[in-house]
Amino acid sequence: MNIALLTDGITPYVTGGMQRHSFNLTNHLLQAGHQVTLIHCVYGSARLPKKEEVKALFVHSTNLNVHTFRFPSMGQMPGHYLRESYQYSREIVEVLARQWESFDVVMAKGFCAWNLIEQKRKKKIKVGPIAVNFHGVEMFQPPANWKERFKSYLLKGATKWNLLQADFCISYGGQITRIHETIGIDRKKIIEIPSGIDREWIAESKKQQDVPTFLFIGRYERRKGIEELTEVIKKDKSLNFQFIGNIPHTKRIKRDNVMYWGEIKDKQELQTRIDSCDVIVAPSFSEGMPNVLLEAMGRGLIPIATRVGAVPVLISEEEGFLVDPGNSAELAKTLARVNELSIAERLALSNATLRKVRETFLWEKIILQTEKAFQFMLENE
């Protein structure tokens, strides 16, 4: 197939779960023999990578065409992100003006296909089925505070329009699908495709330390639940914790058994740090299907996460523990419980976690589901 993939960035140029997913999706579509036109962007003053530099990231790049943009910047007034996103979608339409009819399927992340959907609805552009993926549709999940609520309010209308007007919507499943249905999207338009990780991420086995080490990976964002987690760690001094991500120095706990490594982009170094821990903790208020959970679970770490987005699709009581978002007491109780588990009990959970990822969340399996989804779109547009 000839596929257009419209994204708001890819790893390693932009950090984030959506960007990592965009990179992996591109990589595996190319490996499967498809023709891919990748649209991506960088932000702020970041250097614009050359086309050949981007293509060099992918082993099977013969069938890859690349267009790199600088994401528009329109100040900091409320609503600036929506205005910037719409402008970005217009620039994409203009650059590919003569190519749209050649694509079998258009896969778009977030608002990237906003203007394209408009033009198709007005019959000004002829193009195949457009599928939109808003990952966790976090703006429709419970916010962490009033600031997050206000941000969500600004985004809801445009998000709903894009989802309703697109030909198909991609969901990770679980609560993400239920959110789509609540918005009013026809169930026939919702296609469930989970995220995944590469086989090379999967550990053969995982040894458990005498005393478990807990790990948090992520950006310092309010919705990630870091504030609640930090308060729990401050009160329970028996917890050994490591943090990977851009946690401000002013927000760090100064204690010998709490370590901060900053952002780690090198895959081998990241795997080494993950392997030094036993439990991954993701106390987010909203999520899609977090790559950090998938990758840590692929190394055999026991997951503790919140019942949000598609996280319950990843984790059951056989592999780990789910808590309610924002419930510090429940989080503290769960961390203490895992801290007291025997090595044998933790080993059983770790083995179940590895088995779950191998059986369900490898990209070599996810890409087959994706190809079936594309075929379904072509037959049912």
**Mean pLDDT computed over every residue of the chain:** 95
Each residue's pLDDT tens digit, 35-67 = 999 999 999 999 999 999 999 999 899 999 999
Joined together, the tokens standing for residue 358 give: 């191998």
Q: What is the mean pLDDT of residues 303-328?
A: 95
Local confidence band at 111 (pLDDT 50, 70, 90 cut-offs): very high
Instruction: Show the beta-strand stretches assigned E in the chain.
Output: 2-6, 35-42, 64-70, 105-109, 130-133, 168-171, 190-192, 213-217, 240-244, 258-260, 279-282, 302-306, 321-323
HSE-CB at 196 with a 13 A cutoff on CA atoms is 24
| CA–CA gap between residue 234 and residue 154 (Å, rounded) | 35
Q: What superfamily would CATH give domain 2-196+362-380?
A: Glycogen Phosphorylase B; (3.40.50.2000)
pLDDT above 70 as % of the chain: 100
pLDDT of residue 96: 95
Q: Could you tell me if 183 and 163 are in contact, meaning their C-beta atoms sit under 8 angstroms apart? A: yes
Q: Dig out the tokens for 276 from the structure.
A: 């030094």
Among candidate residues 226, 218, 86, 234, the one with its CA nearest the CA of residue 162: 86
The string of pLDDT tens digits covering residues 316-328 is 999 999 999 999 9
Beta carbons within 8 Å of 55's beta carbon, 6+ residues apart: 61, 64, 66
pLDDT at 16: 85
In the prediction, which pLDDT does 265 show?
Answer: 84
Q: End-to-end distance of the chain based on CA atoms, in angstroms?
A: 16
Per-residue model confidence (pLDDT) at position 75: 87
Q: Supply the pLDDT for residue 267.
A: 87
Domain boundaries, the chain: 2-196+362-380, 199-360
CA dihedral 310→312→318→319, nearest 10 degrees, is 50
In angstroms, the CA 265 to CA 79 distance is 31
Does the pLDDT of residue 87 top 90, yes or no? yes
Distance of CA 113 to the CA centre of its chain: 18
The pLDDT of 285-299, averaged and rounded, is: 94
Provide the pLDDT for residue 129.
98
Give the model's pLDDT for residue 33.
Answer: 96
Distance CA(188)–CA(167), nearest Å, equals 10
Determine the Cα–Cα distance for residues 158 and 151; give it in Å rounded to an integer. 12
Q: Which of 198, 165, 169, 275 is nearest to 11 (CA)?
A: 198
CATH class as words, domain 199-360: alpha beta
Cα torsion angle, 195, 40, 78, 147, sign: positive
Give the residue carrying structure tokens 């007291």: 340
pLDDT, one tens digit per residue, over 60-85 is: 999 999 999 999 999 888 899 999 99
Task: Kindly tell me the sign of the dihedral angle through the C-alpha atoms of 22, 28, 29, 31.
Answer: positive
Q: How confident is the model at residue 118 (pLDDT cuts 50, 70, 90)?
A: very high
Phi, psi of 181 (to 5 degrees): -65, -40
Distance (Å, whole) CA 58 – CA 1 = 18
Cα–Cα distance, 166 to 149 (Å, whole number): 25
- Of the candidates 261, 290, 287, 285, the one whose C-alpha atom is nearest the C-alpha of residue 274 is 261
For 181-203, the pLDDT digits (tens) are 999 999 999 999 999 999 999 99
Phi-psi bin for 364: left (phi > 0), alpha (psi -120 to 50), beta?
alpha
- Report how far residue 191's alpha carbon sits from residue 193's, in angstroms, rounded to the nearest whole number: 6
Q: Which has the closest alpha carbon to 331: 216, 246, 244?
A: 216
Beta strand pairing status for 321-323 and 279-282? unpaired
Interval 205-232 mean pLDDT: 94
Q: How far apart are CA 362 and CA 13, in angstroms?
A: 24
The whole-model pTM stands at 0.92
Q: What pLDDT, on the 0 to 100 scale, is given for residue 88?
A: 98
d(CA 298, CA 197): 8
Helical H segments across the chain, by residue range: 17-31, 51-55, 80-95, 114-121, 146-165, 175-183, 226-235, 267-275, 291-298, 311-314, 328-339, 343-360, 363-380
Q: Within 10 A of 101 (CB to CB), how many other CB atoms are there?
A: 9
199-360: same fold as 2-196+362-380?
Answer: yes
Please check the confidence at residue 17 and state whether its pLDDT lies above 90: no
pLDDT at residue 168, as a whole number? 98
Per-residue pLDDT for 7 more than 90? yes
